[in-house]
């Protein structure tokens, strides 16, 4: 009974990854042709080029900032959704994901009208006299992070919401009965029990941010260095498929290693308890 799912995974997931790995060892000749071979020249060229590692560092840095912003915005929102006395929470969750009905590209391009020199933010700030000239908020790392946060924060909210909604309210009531203040109840009971959802949301946001291509391409500037853009330049602009395959495998291995380490060692509840003791 598992054969249809296994066949689908093999054809649409495993086979493409194997093909990319094999292609990373092919030889690119001086004439610009890709010749089947098994050599490590592409890997050595990438490994010894500081520019690619700088791109990976910049990508992880912006992804970490994005994840932190998503956590700061998403946790209070999820807490509000989980604790609000409202008869139809499904409606609130529906409104949360309503923007997903609009194309991701269109939603990303909408930030140009918000952050541009004649956009909504600069227009409001200049009209009330806070600034004399438009702020440069577009086509830089700031606009990329804003676009990524807007795209990813619902994923953070839903992960934290599910975790908070599953907490037995009697535990919080018991803590209050035993003399805990509302803040102590949150710190000692609610927060530790919700950390698995927060950790899952952080991991999901980080991985999706690091692998994002559309947002940095549309909102990034000439100084924005994002690893998926380097893959695009290698494969599409330079038609250097072996190098692009090497970069793709490096990004895949980096994110896969991060997820594996998280699944193996990063039990956030245990970490929180160890700090609390």
What is the rounded (10 degree) CA torsion for 141, 113, 148, 56?
Answer: -30
Helix (H) or strand (E) holding 35: strand 34-35
Rounded CA separation 267/57 (Å): 25
Tokens 């009905």 identify what position?
A: 101
The model's pLDDT over 92-141, given as tens digits with 9 standing for 90+, comes to 888 888 888 888 899 999 999 999 888 889 999 999 888 888 888 999 99
Tokens 């610009």 identify what position?
A: 32
User: What does the pLDDT average to over 164-175?
Assistant: 88
Helix (H) or strand (E) holding 27: strand 27-28
What the chain holds in terms of domains, given with CATH numbers, is 3-80+138-276 (1.10.3720.10)
Chain centre to alpha carbon of residue 222:
22
Closest C-alpha among 247, 261, 205, 223 to residue 53: 247
Q: Report yes or no on whether pTM surpasses 0.85.
A: yes
The model's pLDDT over 63-73, given as tens digits with 9 standing for 90+, comes to 999 999 999 99
Rounded CA separation 151/174 (Å): 38
User: What does the pLDDT average to over 12-25?
Assistant: 91
Rounded CA separation 256/250 (Å): 10
Beta bridge partners of 34: 28
Looking at residue 26, the DSSP 8-state letter turns out to be P
């Amino acid at each position: 009974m598992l054969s249809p799912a296994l066949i689908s995974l093999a054809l649409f997931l495993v086979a493409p990854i194997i093909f990319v790995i094999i292609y990373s060892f092919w030889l690119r000749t001086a004439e610009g042709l890709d010749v089947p071979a098994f050599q490590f020249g592409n890997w050595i060229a990438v490994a010894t080029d500081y520019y690619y590692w700088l791109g990976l560092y910049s990508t992880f840095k912006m992804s970490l900032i994005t994840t932190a912003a998503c956590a700061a915005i998403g946790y209070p929102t999820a807490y509000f959704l989980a604790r609000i006395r409202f008869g139809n929470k499904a409606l609130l969750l529906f409104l949360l994901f309503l923007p997903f009905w609009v194309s991701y590209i269109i939603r990303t391009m909408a930030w140009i009208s918000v952050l541009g020199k004649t956009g909504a933010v600069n227009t409001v700030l200049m009209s009330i006299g806070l600034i004399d000239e438009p702020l440069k908020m577009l086509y830089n790392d700031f606009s990329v992070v804003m676009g990524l946060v807007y795209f990813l924060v619902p994923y953070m909210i839903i992960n934290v919401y599910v975790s908070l909604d599953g907490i037995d309210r009697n535990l919080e009531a018991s803590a209050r009965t035993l003399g805990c203040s509302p803040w102590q109840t949150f710190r000692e009971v609610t927060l530790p029990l919700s950390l698995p959802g927060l950790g899952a949301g952080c991991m999901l946001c980080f991985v999706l941010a690091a692998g994002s291509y559309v947002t940095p391409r549309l909102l990034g500037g000439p100084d924005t260095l994002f690893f998926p853009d380097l893959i695009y330049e290698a494969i599409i602009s330079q038609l250097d498929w072996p190098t692009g395959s090497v970069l793709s495998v490096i990004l895949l291995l980096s994110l896969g290693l991060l997820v594996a380490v998280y699944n193996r060692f990063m039990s956030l509840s245990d970490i929180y308890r160890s700090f609390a003791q």
